[in-house]
Chain A
């Protein structure tokens, strides 16, 4: 996609989410906050899944870890935003350590290994009840202030995380790391032979895909003020985020934002009316993606322009 179209798209997206409070409707603000939350997760997944081409299902592991780390810090008296920063740091360290293990695997094996991380961390959160409250969950200190203030605060907090993830994406894409990751996605052995330090780069991509999830997870925990293992380490979320990126256009800057907002809005509009079809719709989107949209919506835009 031409870069000025891309910039316009990103600008409109940010403006649209930021302008949600103008509606004066708390429901709209809540949806916009979800759009930003999933936008941050999709941008995160894009580093490992889009640029490096590793089919990661570790998103919920990072989100869950970040939400517990942030909640525990906050409950221990650490100021809220600092807790999010610490949660991001904890998630980054965990991603680096886990990355060295699971990134030895390739293809389907990596996918299975990454989904196992979600299950393992979820089990730890359930068992270690002395720390995490176990299956009963954990209440998080509530931010003082009225509901209108709180709604806006968390919208802009999520949006700030999106902006950080966007900046990181643009820097990665323009630099050596992004180039090396694209080489890895296409032919890892050849990448190694031209001098790409593939293990280091994959771990860096995995850390980047973890750090913003950790921050967003912590912010989410503060927002909803309660977390439990099954919500924090949600298998549905770990599948949904890659679908969002594939829907928008993997390995691009705008694709993850486009795909995540499209899916959230689709779910919200259809959700209210056909509650029981929620999972079926996600399934239909996945099937449509596989058969009709290999390059995502951005790829479709490119094809339309070419044939015109």
Chain B
């Protein structure tokens, strides 16, 4: 059987910037993958290439065997490719419930707004926003908006869920809740690619970690091995510090 998602030589150039360079990647069904990399490494751009927001300058994106390199975002959504936005994108004047209904109606399986309403309510309960259902999305706090993004993408009945820093800005107890939630989503059979800066989250959830640096994939493997990889340490800390840490590898992995 073909991989769920397969990228071959995917590159994206913005003017003079190579945001993503020749990325090769296979994602199997049921995986939870952490995608890390310093600021500006190209993580969000990679998500945009997978979900049809940007079109790759070179290479191909395959999803469930089909070539989807040229797909439009709404086609990606209907195929089961859902993503959350790093910078949250609610429909501000709609209620929280209506925001989630949109996902259910247009990408999920709901045939009518009435069915979507029921469905959306369940997703809101799941992310802990049930009590806010009828309030306008614009008045939610940032952590609640992150959860709204998550509920909206769950309502899209995804096969592959790309979470772009859903936990940024959450406090410790909120993060514990989020970890729980992501685990339960994975348990439902959704494949997850998780973009995170918080190593605690990446290490506790991921079965496999990818590291992007200046647009290129420089590491791909089990979390521990990746974190101890000298090239990864170098990408994060710079060559001089990496050389110093190389003498104390255990300390480097804690960084």
Chain A residues engaging chain B, CB cutoff 8 angstroms: 174-176, 179-180, 182-183, 186-187, 189-198
- Cβ A182 vs Cβ B94 within 8 A: yes
Given A193-B51, A196-B74: 13 more A-B contacts, CB < 8 Å: A174-B113, A175-B113, A179-B105, A179-B113, A183-B106, A186-B93, A190-B89, A191-B102, A192-B72, A193-B53, A193-B74, A194-B102, A195-B74
- Cβ B113 vs Cβ A193 within 8 A: no
Q: Which of B87-114 contact A (CB under 8 A)?
A: 89-94, 98, 101-103, 105-107, 112-113
Q: Chain A nearest CB: distance from B35 CB in Å?
A: 19
Question: Which listed residue (B53, B83, B89, B101) contacts A187, Cβ 8 A?
Answer: B89
Q: Chain A nearest CB: distance from B207 CB in Å?
A: 27
CB-CB under 8 A from A193, the residues of chain B are 51, 53, 73-74, 77, 83, 85, 89
A182 to B101, CA, bound (A): 12
A198 to B93, CA, bound (A): 18
Residues 146-158 of chain B, each 1 if its beta carbon lies under 8 Å from chain A, else 0:
0000001000100
A187 to B83, CA, bound (A): 16
- Cβ B89 vs Cβ A189 within 8 A: yes
- Cβ B91 vs Cβ A190 within 8 A: yes
The 4 closest A-B pairs by CB, nearest first: A195-B107, A195-B106, A195-B77, A190-B89
- Cβ A186 vs Cβ B113 within 8 A: no
B interface size (C-beta, 8 A): 26
A186 to B77, CA, bound (A): 19
Q: What are 7 A-to-B residue pairs whose CB atoms are below 8 Å?
A: A176-B105, A179-B101, A180-B102, A183-B106, A192-B73, A194-B103, A197-B74
CB-CB under 8 A from A179, the residues of chain B are 98, 101-102, 105, 113
How many CB-defined contacts (below 8 Å) exist between A and B? Answer: 71
Q: Chain A nearest CB: distance from B172 CB in Å?
A: 29
B114, closest chain A residue (CB): A174
Known: A195-B77, A195-B103. A187 touches B92 (CB 8 A): yes
Question: Which listed residue (B72, B78, B85, B102) contacts A183, Cβ 8 A?
Answer: B102
CB-CB under 8 A from B107, the residues of chain A are 194-195
- Cβ A186 vs Cβ B94 within 8 A: yes
Q: Which of B201-253 contact A (CB under 8 A)?
A: none
Question: Which listed residue (A175, A182, A187, A198) contacts B74, Cβ 8 A?
Answer: A198
A198 to B78, CA, bound (A): 13
CB-CB under 8 A from B90, the residues of chain A are 187, 190
CB-CB under 8 A from B83, the residues of chain A are 193
Q: Chain A nearest CB: distance from B73 CB in Å?
A: 4
- Cβ A176 vs Cβ B92 within 8 A: no
A253 to B106, CA, bound (A): 23
Q: Which of B37-71 contact A (CB under 8 A)?
A: 51, 53
Which has the most chain B C-beta neighbours within 10 Å: A186, A191, A194?
A194
Known: A176-B106, A191-B102, A193-B51. A183 touches B77 (CB 8 A): no
Which has the most chain A C-beta neighbours within 10 Å: B53, B103, B105, B156?
B105
Residues 134-165 of chain B, each 1 if its beta carbon lies under 8 Å from chain A, else 0:
00000000000000000010001000000000
A77 to B84, CA, bound (A): 59
- Cβ B78 vs Cβ A186 within 8 A: no
A182 to B112, CA, bound (A): 16
Question: Which listed residue (A186, A187, A189, A194) contacts B106, Cβ 8 A?
Answer: A194
CB-CB under 8 A from A196, the residues of chain B are 74, 102, 106
CB-CB under 8 A from A175, the residues of chain B are 112-113
CB-CB under 8 A from B106, the residues of chain A are 176, 180, 183, 194-196
A192 to B102, CA, bound (A): 10
Known: A179-B101, A183-B102. A192 touches B89 (CB 8 A): no
A190 to B89, CA, bound (A): 6
CB-CB under 8 A from B101, the residues of chain A are 179
B110, closest chain A residue (CB): A176
A175 to B105, CA, bound (A): 10
